[in-house]
Amino acid sequence: MTIRESTEQWESEYLSPYAALSRASRGRDVEEPPCDIRPIYQRDRDRILHCKSFRRLKHKTQVFLTPRGDHYRTRLTHTLEVSQTARTVAKALRLNEDLTEAIALGHDLGHTPFGHAGERALNKLCTRGFAHYEQSVRVVERLEKQGKGLNLTWEVRDGIRNHRTSGNPATLEGQIVRFADKIAYINHDIDDAIRAGILEETDIPREYREILGGSTRERLNTLIHDIVIHNIDRLKTPPGELCEEQPMIRMSLEVGQAMQDLRTFMFKNLYTNPIAKGEETKAQELLEALFSHYMEHPDTMSEEFLDMLYKEQEEKEIVVCDYISGMTDQYAIYKFNEYFIPKAWSL
């Protein structure tokens, strides 16, 4: 028996009857020989961790555009916090931690430079629209490894596509990531807003603090415990003995509503705050200028995107969106300066 087979056997004996077992995966679009050490979802996790799109997340905006301080979150640190929260819940509920981590690490790979401001800009410019969760799937299916993609399992791709609030992940592991994403960004964005002097802890309405806690640490503790407590017994019950055909990851009504109300508070007081978001218009205009430039001068894109455009006959505006959405904040500014800012004269 290989190490992988031994691990798969352990999963079937130890994990919840509702866990997504590695040996039961719906597989990859292109079949591959199994690894003798790593189960299938662990291989997916490793592929995401080592891909270029993942490394670029360190220079992509979370909320605060190109912050000067060293301690503001980036898209990469957000992703790591989502992963940590999701893995904690998955482990406590005896669900598949490898699958959970793979989804969490890949959920934002398709995010644009300048955060959701960049996403809104490309969504307006592209006639087919643009959504970061769909682009994240396109990254792993099409764009990584010079157009070969990462050939991830169906379950990981499903979780990435459905991590948004309105998503409906097929696995409980994907549902955990969907909750963990909100838990992470609500709390670390509060922390960053306090660091920036935009909010104080006492600005958060008292009714939310009484339910969730009066600090980031207390809120995380409350939210994570609530998910674990309200699901652990249900996920131990064998299939056929539950009233519901397929269990869903839930929160208690009180804590879940308080988290949703806190999220609404954050949209009003941070995500649309003119101090925090005052530079977004400039970022959107920058991406609009780059989009127009590449639509008029596609040959200035890198070679792999030219191959997609000319050899593979991909639609031009899709390829341009692929190129721009893969940029870091810094690279987008660099290319804007190259194309639109006059250079000093020199002999």
For the chain, list the domains and their CATH numbers: 3-278 (1.10.3210.10)
Q: What is the pLDDT of residue 242?
A: 60
Q: What is the pLDDT of residues 119-132, one digit of tens each?
A: 999 999 999 999 99
User: On the CB side of 208, how many CA atoms lie within 13 Å of its CA?
Assistant: 22
Q: What is the pLDDT of residues 325-344, one digit of tens each?
A: 999 999 999 999 999 999 87
How many other C-beta atoms are found inside a 10 Å radius of the C-beta of residue 36? 9
Range list of H helices, 15-131: 40-50, 52-56, 75-92, 97-106, 115-125
Distance between CA atoms of 205 and 330, rounded to whole angstroms? 36
Is the pLDDT score of 241 beyond 80? no
Helices 154-161, 172-195: axis angle to 10 degrees equals 40
Q: What is the pLDDT of residues 264-275, one digit of tens each?
A: 999 888 887 777
Q: What is the pLDDT of residue 67?
A: 72
Query: Phi and psi at residue 91, in whole multiples of 5°?
Result: -65, -40
Structure tokens at 216: 């980031």
How many other C-beta atoms are found inside a 10 Å radius of the C-beta of residue 128? 10
Q: What is the pLDDT of residue 274?
A: 77
How far does Cα 75 stand from its chain's mean position? 8
Q: What is the pLDDT of residue 239?
A: 78
Q: What is the pLDDT of residues 191-229, one digit of tens each?
A: 999 998 999 999 999 999 999 999 999 999 999 999 999
Closest CA to 319 of 344, 290, 343, 294: 294
Question: Where do we find the tokens 């964005």?
Answer: 189
Query: Phi and psi at residue 28, in whole multiples of 5°?
Result: -110, 160
Strands (E) in 197-337, as ranges, are none
Is the pLDDT score of 238 beyond 90? no
Note whether 78 and 108 are within 8 A (CB).
Answer: yes
Task: Read off the DSSP letter of residue 61.
Answer: B
Is the pLDDT score of 276 beyond 80? no
Closest CA to 41 of 106, 94, 92: 106
Overall average pLDDT of the 25-39 stretch? 97
Is the pLDDT score of 297 beyond 90? yes
Question: Model's pTM, two decimal places?
Answer: 0.96
Can you say whether the dihedral through the CA atoms of 73, 77, 83, 88 is positive or negative?
A: negative
Q: What is the pLDDT of residue 244?
A: 61
Q: What is the pLDDT of residue 346?
A: 67
Overall average pLDDT of the 316-322 stretch? 98
Least confident among 141-150, 161-170, 265-274, 323-332: 265-274
Distance between CA atoms of 249 and 227, rounded to whole angstroms? 7
What stretch of H or E contains 292? helix 280-296
Note whether 92 and 100 are within 8 A (CB).
Answer: no
Q: What is the pLDDT of residues 43-95, one digit of tens each?
A: 999 999 999 999 999 999 888 877 777 899 999 999 999 999 999 999 999 99
Q: What is the pLDDT of residue 236?
A: 84
Structure tokens at 303: 């070679």
Can you say whether the dihedral through the CA atoms of 121, 122, 128, 133 is positive or negative?
A: negative
Distance between CA atoms of 156 and 41, rounded to whole angstroms? 8
Closest CA to 44 of 106, 110, 136, 107: 106
Q: What is the pLDDT of residue 95?
A: 98
Q: What is the pLDDT of residue 275?
A: 72
pLDDT bucket at 252, cuts 50 / 70 / 90: very high
Residue type, 205: P
Can you say whether the dihedral through the CA atoms of 58, 64, 65, 71 is positive or negative?
A: negative
